[in-house]
Structures are given as C-alpha cells and as structure tokens.
Amino acid sequence: MPLVQEVPAQVRSLERFVPLLGQTAVDEARALAQGLHERLAGGVIWNVNSTAVGGGVAEMLHSLLGYARGAGLDVRWLTIGGAPEFFRITKRLHHALHGEHGDGSALDEAAHHVYAKTLSRNAVELRELVRPGDVVLLHDPQPAGLAPMLLAAGARVLWRCHIGADETNEEVELGWRFLARYLDGVGCMIFSRQRYVPARYRDGRASIVQPSIDAFSAKNIELDEHTVRSILVHVGILEGPPPPSPRYAFVRSDGTPGRVERSADILRLGRASAWETPLVVQVSRWDPLKDMLGVLRGFSILVQNHAAPTVDLVLAGPNVRAVADDPEGPAVFEAVYRAFLEQPPAIRTHVHLAMLPTADVEENAVIVNALQRHATIVAQKSLHEGFGLTVTEAMWKARPVIASAVGGIQDQIEDGVSGVLLRDPTDLDTFAGELHRVLADRALAERLGAAARARVRERFLGIRHLVQYGAIIERLLVA
Ligand code: UDP
C-alpha cells in the first residue's frame, strides 16, 4: 500500500460568503485566485500533512481546499504515512514545540534516522506527483523533513506551522534544533502568531496567518432555536420531551442529509438542565491544559459565594471510552468526576459532565454547535492554547466568552470588548467573579457577544485565510 494518499476535496462555492461579507470581498478573493491561476500556468498547489481526520488542521484543510477549488484553483491534499515509531517521534517533536517533554525521549541521531528515512520513502512517491514549479505547503513537523527533497525536485516549498509556545524553553529549543537541518533552506514559512516564530527564522521569511472557522460547516452553521433545543433534548443535555416534529437534521458537507441519532453519556446528580436555566459551557478535549477541573471549581465558587441566579454548568468533551488517540482523556475525565463527587449536592445538581458521541464527526459537530448556541456564557479556561478554535466558534455564535489570556486566545478576544480575558487562569475567584458579572448583566453579555461575532466576521472566517495564503503564494511565485 502506498504511503502517500490523496484526500478527496469537495468543491465549495465562495458565493456563500456574499451575504456575510459582501460581493466586493468575494470578488476580490476570486480575482486573487484568478491571478494565481494564471501565474501557476497549470501548476498545482499541494498540501501535505499526516492525517485527513481529527484535529483543527484537518478540519480547516477540508474547508479551505473546498473554497480554493471553488475559486478555480487546482489545490490538492496528500497525507504521508509511516510506521508508529515515526509518529511517536513526530508527536515528541510536537510536544517539544509546545514547550513540553512529551514522552521525554531523545531527539537524537537515531530519531533523525527514523524521521528522515520515513520521509525519503514518502518523497519517492511524492516525486511521481509533484512537478517542477508546483507549490507545496507542508503542514506541521510531520512532513517538514520533505522540504529539502522537494526543493531539489524543483517545487516551491512553504512550511505552515500550526503550533508554538508563548515562551521559549529548553524543549522548544530542542524541537527547533531538530527541525533546523530540514527547514533552514525553506524561504517561506507561515506561523499562527508572531511569538511562535523561532529566532532563527525571524529574518523575513516568516508570515503570520491566523486560523479560521468555516461558517457553513456543521460546527458553525446557523441553527434556529427549535433545532438547538431538539438536539440538546435528544442527546440528553436538556430536559423535556422532544418538541413535536423533531428537526435535528442537518446537511453534511457533501450535501447529503444527516441526523443526530446518538445520545451523549452524561454524569449528573439530578435532572437534565431546563431550557430556561442559564448555562455556562466549556467544550474541550479532556486534556489537563483545558482545565475542566478549574472550571468546575470556579463554578462552585460562583454558586457558593455569589448570590447567583440558578445557573447550570456543562463540561462537554468527546466520549473518552470511544476516543483511542487521546491517552490522557480517561484519566482527566476521571479526575473531573472525582472533583464533581467532592462538591456539595447543592452544587452537583447544577453540574453536567457530558461525553459527546464521536462516531460520526458531523453529528458530533452539530451537537457542539447546538451547545455553544444555547450557552449563556462559553468558558475556555485553558492553561495553554495554540489558537483556541472553540473560542472562535463561540464568538461566531455571538456568545460572551470568558477565556484565559493565553496563546491565540489573546489575538481573538479584546478584553472587555469582544469577550473577557482572564490574566491569571489559575485565579478561580476572579473567574467566578467574571462569570457572575456577565450572568448578572444581560446588556453586557449581548454587547460582548455582538462584538465577538463582528470580530470573527472581520478576521477569522475562511475567506480571509484563503486570501492571505493566496498573497503569500503569489509572492513565492514571483520571487
Ligand atoms: N471539539 C469537538 N468535540 C468535542 C470537543 C472538541 O468537535 O467533544 C472541537 C472543538 O469544537 C474545536 C476543536 O475540537 O473545533 C478543538 O480545537 P481547539 O483549537 O479549541 O483545541 P485543540 O483541541 O486543538 O487543542
């Protein structure tokens, strides 16, 4: 079986953005695509990463590729393959660039040997597809080592790094040292934040492009109140008989109809939440850095110390019994559950620990969509964050978001204007106080939500992302 696989892409029309962004913005994007098309003269723009499913990068690629193809560009997507040992090393590298130890293994010559050898085998297959003059975007550390081989084959190579650390440390240095021998010859790189650019590449070769969401995917598509309620009753988060004529149907990205069939696994003391009860929601993977525990404890302070009106908390994430690729998930969920059991009953009756079904990615997405839309406040109290797509998603739904001032969240929320930033994510009293302040002031919540949506419209929709990529590729082609 070949290592390199092509991922099929749907063609999506840019026309869908007209009601959101206006005709001019869409025409400008098309004109840029047309110019690029001519300059490419039949050449292809290849994206190369290591997975077609799971994670924000794959989600963004599906949508960006679709719109780029809709604009007439020949953009394609390939995934590389390798043995588990290769992916163990690239995961180690991934952790290092985040400033963490991961499995603590050495990134030494033996690791280089496995990494480079695997990528050489992938390169043999890639050279059958990529022609001189084609553009190749390599995403993240996994395919980074292909760069020298692709450059030698006459391709124009860009490296897109989706991760990074706010502060550098020994691990970060180690990660960049490992990659340097493959990346030093690449003249064009894209990072999500200025701070993520390592010192060695602060020489004009780096551009900054922030991630984006697809306003028309199951995760973000507009849902009316009836649909939101139907979905949340159906999965078990809200109480009540399902409203008559259930409309928890949605349109899949390939145009076929989908339905929410599965339920969530929910741990709680009493009843499901009532439709009228204000809801604080955090949706995250069960990862220690998302600090679900801290959200629970902060919520407990809110209920005990502030004369809050009745309010519920939903902590939602993927079902840890089903997700095989997140080894920390079960332990984190267990810790949150233990902390839940330690709370007095008066708190526990307001807390809902929801494990969402994951078997069908778009079903999962539309459930997250409904939950974010129903939330009175969305929290993202992460201790560390690359960008934080959950924040963008909630802002797009005009929710007031209370989130930590870490990583890319700081680029999204302007404190007090389009959300609330927590300077110290470990300060639970302040978190509880901010929850109380926003819950108690409906006008403030609405103002924050409206500004949040406007900010996403301006900065974090896929079309902006495409235009930035287009301009960078154009510069690469004229260079
Ligand atoms: N997500 C999801 N279902 C879940 C939990 C998370 O679809 O049960 C999504 C979430 O909506 C977001 C992505 O996973 O689109 C997480 O991206 P983010 O940048 O917030 O954090 P990461 O998990 O990449 O650290």
Task: Decide if 5-212+461-478 and 225-459 have a common fold.
Answer: yes
Residues 73-109 pLDDT 10s: 999 999 999 999 999 999 899 889 989 898 899 999 9
Which of 231, 283, 320, 369 for mutating ligand 1's site (highest number of atoms within 8 Å of CB)? 283
Please tell me the CATH superfamily of domain 225-459, with its number: Glycogen Phosphorylase B; (3.40.50.2000)
pLDDT score, position 462: 85
CATH of 5-212+461-478, one of 3.40.50.1820, 3.40.50.620, 3.30.1330.10, 3.40.50.2000: 3.40.50.2000
Tell me, what's the pLDDT at 250? 81
User: Cβ distance 172 to 151 under 8 Å?
Assistant: no
Nearest residue (by CA) to ligand 1, atom 7, is 365
What number does the ligand 1 atom closest to the CA of 55 have?
24
Report phi then psi at 267, rounded to 5: -105, 125
**Residues 135/477, Cβ–Cβ less than 8 Å:** yes
Ligand 1 atom with the smallest distance to the CA of 285 is 5
Residue 283 alpha carbon to ligand 1 centre in Å: 7
Ligand 1: which residue has its CA nearest to atom 1? 284
- Alpha carbon of 284 to ligand 1 centroid (Å): 6
Check residue 37 and report its DSSP letter: H
Cα of 218 vs centre of ligand 1, distance in Å, is 13
List the chain residues with pLDDT less than 50. none
The answer to whether the Cα torsion of 32, 33, 36, 37 is positive or negative is negative
The overall pTM is greater than 0.85: yes
Indicate the top mutation candidate among 286, 319, 384, 389 to test ligand 1's pocket, ranked by most ligand atoms within 8 A of CB.
389
Q: Which of 390, 395, 396, 456 to mutate to test the pocket of ligand 1 (most atoms within 8 A of CB)?
A: 390
**Token reading at 20:** 């959101």
SS3 454: helix
**Alpha carbon distances (Å) from 273 to 254, 281, 378:** 33, 12, 16
Residue range 437-464, pLDDT digits in tens:
999 999 999 999 999 999 999 999 988 9
**CA-closest residue to ligand 1 atom 17:** 389
CA dihedral 130, 134, 139, 142 (to 10 degrees): 30
- C-beta of residue 130 within 8 angstroms of C-beta of residue 46: yes
Q: Can you give the C-alpha Rg of the chain in angstroms?
A: 23
CA of 367 to the centre of ligand 1 (A): 12
CB 208 within 8 A of CB 162: no
Distances (CA, A) of 410 to 43, 169, 199, 423: 38, 21, 21, 10
Query: What residue segments make up the domains of the chain, in order of their start?
Result: 5-212+461-478, 225-459
Give the per-residue pLDDT at 85.
Answer: 94
Q: Which residue has a Cα nearest atom 10 of ligand 1? A: 390
Report residues whose beta carbon is within 6 angstroms of any ligand 1 atom. Answer: 56, 219, 283-285, 317-318, 356, 364-365, 368, 387-390, 393
Work out which ligand 1 atom sits closest to the CA atom of 318: 8
Distance of CA 86 from the midpoint of ligand 1 (Å): 25
CA 56–ligand 1 middle distance (angstroms): 7
Neighbours of 240 (CB within 10 A): 12
Distance in Å, CA 74 to ligand 1 centroid: 29
Instruction: Tell me the CA–centroid distance for residue 66 and ligand 1, in Å.
Output: 21
User: What pLDDT was estimated at residue 449?
Assistant: 98
